[in-house]
Amino acid sequence: MSENISVLGLGLMGTALAKSLLAAGHQVTVWNRTPAKADPLVAEGAKQAATPAAAVAASELVIACLLDSRSVTATLEGAELRGRVIANLTTSRPVEAREIAALVSERGGDHLAGGIMAIPQMIATPGALILYSGSKAAYDRYEQALSAMARPQYTGADPAMAPLLDLAMLTGMYGQMAGFLEAAALVRSAGYPLRDFTSGLLVPWLNAMAAQQPAWAEKMESGDHGTDVSNLEINRSGVANLVRAFHEQGVRPDLLLPMQEILERRVARGLAHEGLSGLVEELVAD
């Protein structure tokens, strides 16, 4: 079914989103602070709105994909939101998502917060995922239209949930990147070909380790951090050994040191018998 959909923000991601909606046959109205960025989309059939308020007036479903939450709030200022669904796909902190949801609701609109798990080139391809949270009624009404951009997944009524899961997925990515950077620096110090190490050794190893994560997650949920794999004493000694090897190879272990500190702290509490899942308890702020 063809829908009227407005897109606010035509950066790299907003442009990809608008393109995918046009390709799926929707009537797309676009607005961007720098108007010239709309030209290629207009050539493909989009209508260009002169102001954000005009773009919001044009469609019941409005997708915002802007720099940050502040630019979303500023862009929506003065627009009539009554009867509109604002799907904000701008990367936001959980607190900001709740604030924008409240603002939209006060002005008579419905709200969905989104977390885009894709780069622009992945939009409208099978690997792309967009997490949503907030109004279930709005999600159900527009699920099919949203699926033109990426596989949609609803994560709950709390508007903060999709942004939080988005940030959690990014956290996992940066953690993996940190491990990769340290490993690459160590391997490079020995002159072994990095490409062979990465595709032949590291990636299969990381995949095997990642397969253990659901079991660790169960332990975290239950609070039972017992292990039959390797306890914290073994891991503490293993990481200390790693840090020494780094120094011996002339490589800085900077990205590994926080992990070592957390391991030491947990063991110092007398919990050396636990498995690695227990370290999650050390990350709760006082």
Site string for ligand FVH, 69-108 (x = CB under 6 A): --x--xx--------------xx-----------------
Cα 252 from chain centroid? 29
Q: How many chain residues are in contact with ligand FVH, going by CB under 6 A?
A: 21
Strand-by-strand arrangement of the 47-48 sheet:
47-48, 27-31, 4-8, 61-64, 85-88, 110-117, 129-134, 151-154
Site string for ligand FVH, 108-147 (x = CB under 6 A): --------x--xx---------------------------
Q: Taking a C-beta distance cutoff of 8 angstroms, is the pair 108, 95 a contact? A: no
Q: Find all residues with CB under 8 Å of 245, minimum gap 6, and list them.
A: 186
- Helices and strands of the chain, counted as H and E runs: 12, 8
Site string for ligand FVH, 37-66 (x = CB under 6 A): x---------------------------xx
Q: Which stretch binds ligand FVH (CB under 6 A): 29-37, 140-148, 234-242, 274-282?
A: 29-37
Q: Which stretch binds ligand FVH (CB under 6 A): 28-36, 196-204, 230-238, 242-250?
A: 28-36
Compute the C-alpha angle 254/256/257, nearest 5°: 70
Least distance in angstroms from the C-beta of 65 to ligand FVH = 5
| Crossing angle (nearest 10°) for helices 161-189 and 94-106 | 150
Residue whose CB is less far from ligand FVH, 89 or 138: 89
Binding site for ligand FVH (CB under 6 A): 9-14, 32-34, 37, 65-67, 71, 74-75, 90-91, 116, 119-120
